Amino acid sequence: NQVVAAESLQVKNLLKNRSLAKAISNVGWHQITTMLAYKAQWYGRSFVQIDKFYPSSKRCHACGHLADAMPLSVRQWDCPACGTRHDRDVNAAKNILKAGKAILAGADKLREHENTTAGHAGG
């Protein structure tokens, strides 16, 4: 519990998806991330935001393989490289946490083959 990692989201773009728009529009995303950063600092923890373009859903958390384009309707997938079965959201959460820890460990970039734009926000 030393680090909180979150994805920086462009809510305006998420609202373009009609199936998500109603659920998303009722949530204050900026307020949530602001409060996470505040509470992390309050308790002496780090808060890291991972860039919205980091492929957290498509990268296998087990082996690092980057899957091809994946529509939002695909909720589960199998990694073609190692065979690991993924729930899209759980896999993304694991990748976001791993990226946050890598940034805090001093890695300006995650491994070169990940080609990420992860960033540090506070902490």
* % residues pLDDT > 70 (the chain): 69
pLDDT by residue (tens digit) across 49-92? Answer: 888 889 999 999 999 999 998 888 899 999 999 999 999 999 99
Please give the mean pLDDT across all residues of the chain.
Answer: 79
Tokens 């694991």 appear where? 94
Evaluate whether 65 touches 84 at the Cβ level (below 8 Å): no
Read off the pTM: 0.70
CB atoms within 10 A of CB 79: 19
Flag whether pLDDT at 122 surpasses 50: no
Q: What is the distance of C-alpha 80 from the center of its chain?
A: 21
21: helix, coil or strand? helix
Most confident of 19-23, 33-37, 113-117: 33-37
Q: Which of 2-6, 35-39, 42-46, 54-58 has the lowest mean pLDDT?
A: 2-6
User: For residue 117, what pLDDT is reported?
Assistant: 36
